[in-house]
Amino acid sequence: MINQIFFFYFSAVIVAMSLLAITRRNVMHGVLYMLLLFFHIAGLYLFLNAEFISAVQIIVYAGAIMVLFLFVIMLLNLREDIRKKQFLAIWPMGLLVSSGILMVILMSMLTIRIGASGIWGIAQIERVTQTAAVGTVLYTQYLFPFEVASLVLLVAIIGAVVLAKKRIK
């Protein structure tokens, strides 16, 4: 019973914070709601006994990504007249795209086979730590996608530096 109460609390707060983050007119308020959202997602991971993923959630998302969002928002210095006209004409297209994504997610949830986890079942993960299991899979089976993701991030960082230098000049 207590497990369900905690799960419903985290679920309700995650949904509420995500709705508040995308519906606020003030961008800074939206970012702060997103920060609360990230902390509650980390709490949900802790509740599911995924301590490593919870720590990564707090360090990467609540730490690094939120600082990046705050810096970008402060550097953009959006004027009030631009913010008012921003999304008035294209909201039906956004509604169509988001409902399509929701349908894909719901259809994929119906086709997932529970318990088909390969060599890393729950018993295997309980024998080793979660960090060791994630590290072993990441650096053996998924090494190439991991390196491709690091190259994509490197290109994004270089692009951001180039754009920042052009803006300064």
With bands split at pLDDT 50, 70 and 90, how would you rate the model's confidence at 159? confident
Domain extents for the chain?
A: 1-82, 119-169
Report yes or no: 41 and 57 within 8 Å, Cβ to Cβ. Answer: yes
pLDDT given at position 53: 86
The per-residue pLDDT for 37 is 93
The 10 Å Cβ neighbour count of residue 37 is 21
User: Would you state the structure tokens that stand for residue 72, as one six-digit string?
Assistant: 């970008």
Q: Which residue has the higher pLDDT, 162 or 29?
A: 29
For residue range 86-138, list pLDDT tens digits in order: 556 677 887 888 888 888 878 777 776 555 556 666 677 677 777 777 788 88
**Contacting residues for 125 by C-beta, under 8 A, at least 6 apart:** 133
pLDDT tens column, 36-83: 999 999 999 888 878 888 888 999 888 888 888 887 777 766 555 455
| Pair of tokens at residue 104 | 């894909």
Topology classification of domain 1-82: Four Helix Bundle (Hemerythrin (Met), subunit A) (1.20.120)
Q: What is the distance between the alpha carbons of residues 48 and 54, in angstroms, rounded to a whole number?
A: 9
Higher pLDDT, 15 or 71: 15
Within 13 Å, how many C-alpha atoms sit on residue 143's CB side? Answer: 4
Say whether pLDDT at 164 is over 60.
yes
